[in-house]
Chain A
Amino acid sequence: MAILTEEQAMLRDMAKGWAQEKNPVAAFRRMRDSGAPLGYDPVAWREMAQMGWAGVLIPEDHGGSDFGYLSMGLLLEETGRTLTASPLLASAVAAASTLRLGGSDAQKAKWLPTIAAGETVATLAVDEGPRHAPGQVALRAERAGDGYRLFGAKRFVLEGEGADLLIVSARTAGDPGDLEGITLFLVPGDAAGLTRARLSLADCRGAADVFFDGVALGDDAVLGTPGEGFALLDKALDRARAGLAAEMLGAASQAFEATVDYLKTRVQFGQLIGSFQALQHRAGRMFMELELTRSTVEATLAAIDAGSPDAPLLASLAKAKAGETFNLVSNEMVQMHGGIGMTDAHDAGLYLKRARAAEATFGGQAFHRDRYARLKGY
């Protein structure tokens, strides 16, 4: 466990208390069963925003607290434990980071205060296929008068159904796959020519395909330098990956604890199943993997806070490791619970589905192993 400041410890305790008492897994289940169209509970999101969580990464002069990524990681870990669905990752981490890193003063002044207040839900619209490939941008931004018009589609946009602001990667030069010629645009959710199709995912989070049919934007919609958007996007994605890894760490931790509790209570063959050495060893292995994962997550968040050049490498390490561990733990949660873990009434399936959705989001293990090797020069 990272050494926390007094403020961070308070933030973590507040998050733990809120998640475990006010927003346990049962709350996620209720949201799911109610068929909530946004994929999250707006009342819970308002409470999170009122506690200042949406502004943790936003400077104080824009209405945030500027507590940093390690602090945000604590929130994501604690809400990840109870599978809380909210725009925290898409809006308060991914989109807020992109704006903060690349936005002009005017853009920051316009959007960051309402993002910090949770009133604006913002998101990144990056991928155009089912597999994460941020360089594969085909969506075109054509010069039109004093601005641009966007033509194309983005798939699997997190919170895409409800987002008020989309940060869209578009091609202003070159071909799909070229890292040059990508430009980021700020697109209001109510822009003419923008349509959405909600997606129903196994983890019941909000996601949508978003279509751009000649969406007209002014030059002031360009985020960062035209044609050089990939470097900014990559930096922002690393922040989102680190945040997601923290959420996955939290979810895997609670899945693990619930499983160990079961080993301590379920009796078969006249004894607690936790007394079987085969299961003890597997539980020990999971604990080890969780500890390794925690180290990678905390190191990544700290590196981002410190502005370290190692942040990209660490982000890939943490996301790959968290994916590996969450997959392992969620599989074992089902297997060690036996039949009861296969029922919808049990929480194991919810963790299993979230594990695979989180794995596929912002690059899975294979993507990040490859990126890690490239960053290390082989």
Chain B
Amino acid sequence: MTDVAADDLDAFRGEACAWLAENFPASLRGGQDPTRAPGPQVLTPDQTLWKQRMADKGWATPTWPAAYGGGGLSAAQARALQQEMDRTGAYNPMYGMGLMMLGPTLLEVASEAQKARHIPPIVRGEVRWCQGFSEPGAGSDLASLATRAEDRGDHFLVNGQKTWTSGGQYADWCFCLVRTDTARKHAGISFVLFDMKTPGVEVRPMKLISGASPFCETFLTDVVVPKENLVGPLNGGWDIAKRLLQHERTGISGNAKPAAADVPLAELAKRYVGLDAAGRLAEPDLRARIAANDMAAHAFQLTAERVLKETKSGSPSAGSSILKNAGTRMGQERDELRLEILGMAGIGWEGEGFEDGELRAVRTWLAGKATTIYGGSQEVQSNIISKRILGLPESTQG
């Protein structure tokens, strides 16, 4: 796809603007996105209508090919669309691992039949995907994974245990890394897809420090996976996984954007700390740190925009490691500052005596601790930056 000429882009912008005016329900304007938690989503009639319309239009996945139901837009058009959506107050009603990670990867590496089968339901937000990568003994060292897939002629027989399966208890399908060759580490891994209802798949939710259970342990016992669900070549799964993880990183750093319901730190501090006679926040120490976080967010946003512009295809590069580390650090600092501003109200857990925003602050802060661990920990990202980007030598000491 090449960018269209400026005139055409203006024409598209007008078209997008008109379509949004006609199709985005007025009742949703300025309201909150429906919950993006992994649990069952309860939508209002207007939210359902909006999801349906975006599914038909393909604009939840604006740059994906129209042949699979995507929007078929150029990167420039997609940016214009996003700007118009922001202006209208419209949100993207589709989300999840299918949209963020698997879809873009399948478009790059899957067979025609696999794309035709799996992409359209992602575009329409009809199938929920979970990721079967990490194992109890394979965290940062993902390539040491041990879940076995034995070749049984027309199918693989899969046995092993996965962990940190996001939304595993609600997912319809799983994309999974399995070992198909025990003699080679990276070159013995394959990338397969399976239906979560397949006999032998058992999920157990894990309770986290935030009190939520967004992840599961997934036990795989004699799970039959048809050969047609092997993506890419046999033993070629590692390269696909790396590609997919780059998409994941970009998605996680995107979470650096605060939730719409959260008041900006400065506004919150005005309320809890107050202003001095000159109109400045009454605590200079806190004020300086809020400003530092504000500036970190600003620099992050500018970097994210620059990376997007400079990457012609709009696909992620090694720069995704920088965005992930910068975005998650800034987000965690923001969550820490929010607690600090709230004082004792920032450690409220539940029940009476606290406002919703206060209770949300502590849960958000705790849940956010995972962002520097999953999707390749901050340490792994730093290794990628120093070795792959800077070309520094391998450490002899590890």
Give me the interface of A with B, judged by CB distance under 8 Å: 127, 129-132, 155-156, 197-204, 207, 209, 267-271, 275-279, 327, 331, 334-335, 338-339, 341-345, 348-349, 352-353, 356-357, 359-361, 364, 366, 369-370
Which residues of chain B are within 8 angstroms of A331 by Cβ–Cβ distance? 369
Q: Is the CB of A352 within 8 A of B366?
A: yes
Q: Is the CB of A268 within 8 A of B141?
A: yes
- The stretch of B4-12, B44-52, B91-99, B375-383 in contact with A is B375-383
Give me the interface of B with A, judged by CB distance under 8 Å: 134, 137, 139-141, 144, 163-164, 206-209, 211, 272-273, 283, 285-286, 336, 339-340, 342-354, 362, 365-366, 369-370, 372-374, 377-379, 382, 395, 397-398
A207–B349 alpha-carbon span in the complex (Å): 12
Which residues of chain A are within 8 angstroms of B342 by Cβ–Cβ distance? 130
Which residues of chain B are within 8 angstroms of A345 by Cβ–Cβ distance? 206-207
Closest Cβ of chain B to A240, distance in Å, is: 15
Q: Is the CB of B398 within 8 A of A352?
A: no
Which residues of chain B are within 8 angstroms of A200 by Cβ–Cβ distance? 348-351, 353
Closest Cβ of chain A to B38, distance in Å, is: 15
The one of B207, B209, B285, B353 that contacts A366, using a Cβ cutoff of 8 Å: B285
Closest Cβ of chain A to B146, distance in Å, is: 13
Closest Cβ of chain B to A164, distance in Å, is: 22
Closest chain B residue to A278 by CB distance?
Answer: B379
Q: A201-B347, A277-B397 are in contact. Are A349 and B378 (CB under 8 A)?
A: no
Closest Cβ of chain A to B98, distance in Å, is: 22
Closest Cβ of chain A to B287, distance in Å, is: 10
Q: A131-B273, A279-B379, A360-B344 are in contact. Are A339 and B349 (CB under 8 A)?
A: no
Which residues of chain B are within 8 angstroms of A369 by Cβ–Cβ distance? 285
Which residues of chain A are within 8 angstroms of B283 by Cβ–Cβ distance? 366, 370
- DSSP class of B's interface residues: helix, strand, loop or mixed? mixed
**Shortest 8 CB-CB distances between A and B: which pairs?**
A349-B209, A130-B345, A131-B343, A130-B343, A268-B141, A156-B344, A344-B207, A366-B285
Q: Is the CB of A130 within 8 A of B285?
A: no
A270–B140 alpha-carbon span in the complex (Å): 11
The one of B208, B377, B398 that contacts A344, using a Cβ cutoff of 8 Å: B208
Closest chain B residue to A359 by CB distance?
Answer: B340
Which residues of chain A are within 8 angstroms of B134 by Cβ–Cβ distance? 339
Closest chain B residue to A352 by CB distance?
Answer: B209
Q: Is the CB of A131 within 8 A of B353?
A: no
Closest Cβ of chain A to B133, distance in Å, is: 11
A269–B209 alpha-carbon span in the complex (Å): 27
A342–B374 alpha-carbon span in the complex (Å): 10
Q: Is the CB of A268 within 8 A of B208?
A: no
Closest chain A residue to B372 by CB distance?
Answer: A335
Q: Is the CB of B346 within 8 A of A339?
A: no
Q: A200-B349, A277-B398, A339-B164 are in contact. Are A360 and B362 (CB under 8 A)?
A: no
Which residues of chain A are within 8 angstroms of B343 by Cβ–Cβ distance? 129-132, 360, 364
Which residues of chain A are within 8 angstroms of B141 by Cβ–Cβ distance? 268-270
A40–B16 alpha-carbon span in the complex (Å): 60
Which residues of chain B are within 8 angstroms of A203 by Cβ–Cβ distance? 347
Q: Is the CB of B349 within 8 A of A201?
A: yes
Closest Cβ of chain A to B387, distance in Å, is: 13
Q: A279-B379, A352-B366 are in contact. Are A343 and B345 (CB under 8 A)?
A: no
Q: Is the CB of A201 within 8 A of B348?
A: yes
Closest chain A residue to B362 by CB distance?
Answer: A202
Q: Is the CB of B398 within 8 A of A275?
A: yes
The one of A130, A156, A202 that contacts B349, using a Cβ cutoff of 8 Å: A202
Which residues of chain B are within 8 angstroms of A130 by Cβ–Cβ distance? 272, 342-346
Closest Cβ of chain A to B336, distance in Å, is: 8
Which residues of chain B are within 8 angstroms of A341 by Cβ–Cβ distance? 373
